[in-house]
Chain A
Amino acid sequence: MTTAATAPRRPGDLAKWLFVAPAALYMLLFFGYPLVRNVVMSFQDYTFATYFTGEAPFNGLENWRAVLANELFGASLWHTLLFTVGSLAGQFGIGMALAVFFHRRFPLSGLMRSLLLLPWLIPMVVAGTVWRRILDQETGVLNEALQALRVTSAAVPWLSSPDVALLSVVLVNIWIGIPFNMVILYGGLQEIPAELREAAVLDGAGPLRNFFSVTLPLLRPVVTVVLVLGFMSTVKILDLILALTNGGPAHSTETLGTLTYQLSFLQLDFGQGAVVGNVLILVSMVFAVVYLRANRGGVAR
């Protein structure tokens, strides 16, 4: 970032501002306004009747109090944390392993790599619906396969037990997220000059040492981008969970995203829905700042 001129003095400056104006206007209208509106709404008694009367009286901290007293909120926060950490760890770990694997070219590696992209191309709702069938306790392919291979003796209640459902949802989300992680990390690996690793090998570094002391540090900016983008798309998850479990069974897969949806669009209590939405935005914003800082460091280097 460069320091901006304090005031437009030369005619060229005006042109610069005119170039910025559409983007700024767009941001204000489509990001700034809804954000502010959402914050304001969380302090309003914004319900069904509001649409008819146009009246949404301010009710102070009433919505916040109600949401914080709701035991589902705490549970959703916890599930969101587990879901996000679990998904990111799985996506990143497997994505990285695959990226390193494909980095060493071998016959058909290009074809296999493109096949692995498929989960990324499938719409989330379609993936959710298909996985719901695969994971069905009685008629699902997964249980049939596991039992045929004698891995498990009884059918695993993937989506029908509150103890397993969250894990199942995380596993599906990992499957969806692997391609994104793999592609970006693979791209990052291509950027690393081969000489550096060759030099490390000559110095006697083994493959593990080579990876952790040479590849990973050089990959750091890419890793940050992947993790932060992954975080932001994971923490707000809604469609996948709605398609897979609808937040159930017994609210075991309820996350902040599904809770907002439930409060706003099923209970039609938009004020309380806005509260949860704000919490979600706040959490995302913390990580957005982390991302910006990390990026700025990358440019300065």
Chain B
Amino acid sequence: MHHHPPPARHSACAAACAAALVLAGAGCAAERDPNVYTVMNSSTDEPYHTWDQEAMDSCGERVGVEVRQLSVPADQLVPKALRMASSNALPDILSLDGSDLPQFAAAGGLVPLEDLGLSTEDLSEGALSIGSHGGEYYGAARAVNSLGLFYDADALAEAGVEPPRTWAELRTAAAELTGGGRYGLAISALATEDGVYQFLPWLWSNGGDERELDSPESVAALEFVASLVEEGSVSSSVVNWTQADVNDQFVAGNAAMMVNGPWQLPVLREHPELDWAVTEIPVPGAGDTSVAPIGGTTFTVPVNAQDPGRERVAAEIVACMTTPEAQLDWATKGSNVPVDPEAAEGYRAAVPELAPFVDQVRTARSRTEHAGTEWSTYSQAIGTAVQAALTGAASPREAMERAQARVEAELEGRS
């Protein structure tokens, strides 16, 4: 933590906290310096940490306070935030992944941003969907990401294959590009969020739905992915690949195409010999809309019961960090897509090679739009189904029927 209360008080408080442990609740929050505001995020990697600090410094100057950054690894952010919440010591601003936001909001841990004077009028649908829960707007997104189909332009030209736009074209292209130790396509099919995120474009573009996993459309989506593995156009190792592994395989030339997100750009740029390009994820039939998941973090303002005045200042900082100009600046540096429509157009001009992501984001859906706080239940069921079908442990239909039954059982057990 960056707070510096008087040492004696600090140790007394620490001792009390240790004794009372997790559930103690109120009373142990360190007194905060009125001119210092803390943002907790997961920008542990450089140069993101520095870029974030620059944005915070400039906004702090505008609002008239000092903004400090507390970065923890992405997978530890939620556990850490929970521990802080139990001792009423959440930071002034919490940068949350869109899929974690509903749980924090439902627990009453976040302040609706409209109550703090932020307007939702000019927000795009995507920005609103990723930052909302139960009709209230809690999180301001700066830039979002989605998935696209990256391809090795040289490999496609060599094989005389056009970038595929439909499932049928993808199947043929992937088969033709497979050979000589190279697979046509690489995807992540891990049972965790990486793999589930990557399955959603197939599910959603086909008219499938996480709430009806056993519908014919949902089953057909899994059948399509499983058939690619079965035909040998996709390696059966994908059940162990994270999205970073997928990128490594693509860079190493072990796959001619891959499904991945714009955040891989820094790695791809380290390999100028690779002539890659991006297109939207192929759709079931010509003319269908490609629906991919929208991902990214939002700035939220946790409830500060002891000093509600801080919430308002925190909201000012959030507003400053998510202006269209700030969005474009951040998106261009960090290879994500600004949520503001105008900033997105500016991005299209600034980073033309990633322009397809601007289109993809426009139609993208948030994972928690329907699932809300129960997303992890759906996610686990989908992850299990995908792995069962891809490893041949179950047919796609069986796998999806089991997933649906599991979701229903778990939701019922909770209500």
Binding site for B on A (CB under 8 A): 33, 37, 48-54, 56, 66, 132, 136-139, 157, 159-162, 245-252, 262, 265-268
Contact = CB atoms under 8 A, between A and B. Distances in A.
Contact of B107 (A49, A160, A252): A49
B107 A138 contact: no
Contacts of A265: 79
B73 interface: no
* 9 smallest beta-carbon distances between A and B, as pairs: A249-B239, A54-B25, A250-B387, A49-B107, A52-B107, A51-B82, A160-B237, A250-B393, A137-B237
B297 interface: no
B413 A267 contact: no
Contact of A53 (B107, B376, B387, B393): B107
Contact of B387 (A37, A251, A267): A251
Contacts of B24: 54
B181 A138 contact: yes
B305 to A, nearest CB: 11
Main secondary structure of the interface of B (DSSP, over half): helix
A161 B240 contact: no
B190 interface: yes
Which of B23, B106, B192, B390 neighbours the largest number of chain A CB atoms within 10 Å of its CB?
B23
B240 A48 contact: no
B191 A251 contact: yes
B387 to A, nearest CB: 4
Contact of B190 (A37, A66, A132, A246): A246
A245 B103 CA distance: 28
A160 B86 contact: no
Given A139-B254, A262-B380, 13 more contacts: A51-B107, A54-B23, A54-B25, A54-B86, A66-B413, A136-B237, A160-B236, A246-B190, A248-B190, A250-B384, A250-B391, A251-B191, A251-B387
Nearest to A248: B191
Nearest to B255: A138
B108 interface: yes
Nearest to B238: A160
Contacts of A247: 191
B107 A249 contact: no
B373 to A, nearest CB: 8
Contact of A159 (B25, B82, B191, B240): B240
Interface of B: 21, 23-25, 78-79, 82-83, 85-86, 103, 106-109, 181, 183, 190-192, 235-240, 252, 254, 373, 376-377, 380, 384, 387-388, 390-391, 393-394, 413
Given A48-B82, A53-B107, A246 B191 contact: yes
A277 to B, nearest CB: 15
Nearest to B236: A160
Given A132-B240, A250-B391, A266-B380, A138 B190 contact: no
B415 to A, nearest CB: 13
A250 B387 CA distance: 5
A275 to B, nearest CB: 14
B86 A162 contact: no
Contacts of A53: 107-108
A152 to B, nearest CB: 16
Max chain A Cβ within 10 angstroms of own Cβ: one of B25, B240, B393: B240
10 contacts: A48-B82, A48-B373, A49-B106, A49-B107, A51-B85, A54-B23, A159-B237, A248-B240, A250-B387, A251-B387
B240 A268 contact: no
Contacts of A132: 240
B92 to A, nearest CB: 17
Contacts of B86: 51-52, 54
Nearest to B18: A29
Contacts of A267: 376-377, 380
A268 B376 contact: yes
Contacts of A136: 237, 240
Contacts of A251: 191, 384, 387
A245 B241 CA distance: 9
A19 to B, nearest CB: 24
B384 A56 contact: no
Contacts of B190: 246, 248
Contacts of B103: 48, 268
B391 A161 contact: yes
Contact of A157 (B21, B237, B373): B237
A279 B72 CA distance: 32
B107 A246 contact: no
Contact of A52 (B108, B181, B238, B254): B108
A250 B388 contact: yes
Nearest to A137: B237
A252 to B, nearest CB: 8
Contacts of B237: 136-138, 157, 159-160
A33 B239 CA distance: 40
Contacts of B236: 137, 157, 160-161
Contacts of A138: 181, 183, 235, 237, 254
Contacts of B191: 246-251
Contacts of A249: 191, 239-240, 387, 390-391, 393
Contact of B23 (A56, A252, A266): A56
B240 A245 contact: yes
A34 to B, nearest CB: 9
B387 A248 contact: yes
Contacts of A159: 237, 240
A122 to B, nearest CB: 21
Contacts of B390: 249
A96 to B, nearest CB: 33
Contacts of B108: 49, 52-53
Nearest to A159: B240
Contacts of B85: 51-52
Nearest to A45: B414
B82 to A, nearest CB: 4
Residue among A49, A137, A157, A250 having the largest count of chain B Cβ atoms under 10 Å: A250
Nearest to B252: A139
Nearest to A50: B23
B54 to A, nearest CB: 32
B393 A162 contact: yes
Contacts of B377: 267
Which of A33, A37, A136 has the most B CB atoms < 10 Å from its CB? A136
Interface centre among B181, B239, B380 (most CB of A within 10 A): B239
